[in-house]
C-alpha cells in the first residue's frame, strides 16, 4: 500500500501520495521549461533573422536523437493546436491562421 503524505491546506488537510506530489512538481518544472524555451526563441527572432534562426535550429536538430527530433515536432504541433485560439490583431493574424490550418491537418507523431 502506498504511503500517504499530508499536505496542509487553508481548509484543512488533504491527503496526497508522494507520487502525486512528485508528479505535480514535475509538471511545474516541465511547464517552466516550455516558458524558458519560448523566451529564448522569441528573443532570438526579435533580434535576428527568423530565417537564420531556423537554419541554426535545423543544424542542431538533425544531430539530436531521432526520438527527440520527433518530440520536437510533436511539441510544435501541440503549440499550433493551442495557438490557434490566441487573440490576434493585424500583427499576428496570419500566424494564428497558420496555426489553425496546421491544426486542421490533424497530424499525429507517435512516440516510438
In tens, the pLDDT along 41-87 reads 999 899 888 899 999 999 999 999 999 999 999 999 999 999 999 99
Cα 84 to the center of its chain, rounded Å:
14
* Same domain flag for 86 and 44: no
Domain range for 93 is: 64-112
* Same domain flag for 68 and 112: yes
Q: Please, what is the angle between helix 18-47 and helix 50-61, to 10°?
A: 130
Ordered DSSP codes for 35-83: HHHHHHHHHHHHHS-HHHHHHHHHHHHTTS-HHHHHHHHHHHHHHHHHH
Our count of domains for the chain comes to: 2
Q: pLDDT tens across 5-52, in order?
A: 444 444 555 678 888 888 888 788 889 999 999 999 999 899 888 899
Cα 70 to the center of its chain, rounded Å:
14
* Same domain flag for 68 and 110: yes
* Same domain flag for 74 and 42: no
Q: How far apart are CA 90 and CA 11, in angstroms?
A: 47
Q: Give the DSSP H or E segment for 11.
A: none
Answer yes or no: is pLDDT of 2 > 60. no
Residue 4 lies in a domain: no
Residue 77 lies in a domain: yes
Q: Is the pTM of this model over 0.85?
A: no
Amino acid at each position: 500500500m502506498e504511503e500517504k503524505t499530508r499536505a496542509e491546506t487553508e481548509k484543512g488537510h488533504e491527503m496526497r501520495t508522494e507520487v502525486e506530489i512528485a508528479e505535480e512538481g514535475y509538471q511545474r518544472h516541465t511547464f517552466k521549461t516550455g516558458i524558458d524555451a519560448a523566451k529564448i526563441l522569441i528573443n532570438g527572432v526579435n533580434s535576428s533573422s527568423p530565417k537564420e534562426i531556423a537554419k541554426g535550429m535545423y543544424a542542431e536538430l538533425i544531430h539530436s536523437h531521432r526520438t527527440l527530433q520527433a518530440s520536437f515536432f510533436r511539441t510544435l504541433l501541440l503549440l499550433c493546436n493551442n495557438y490557434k485560439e490566441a487573440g490576434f490583431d493585424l500583427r499576428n493574424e496570419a500566424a494564428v491562421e497558420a496555426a489553425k490550418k496546421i491544426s486542421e491537418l490533424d497530424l499525429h507523431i507517435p512516440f516510438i
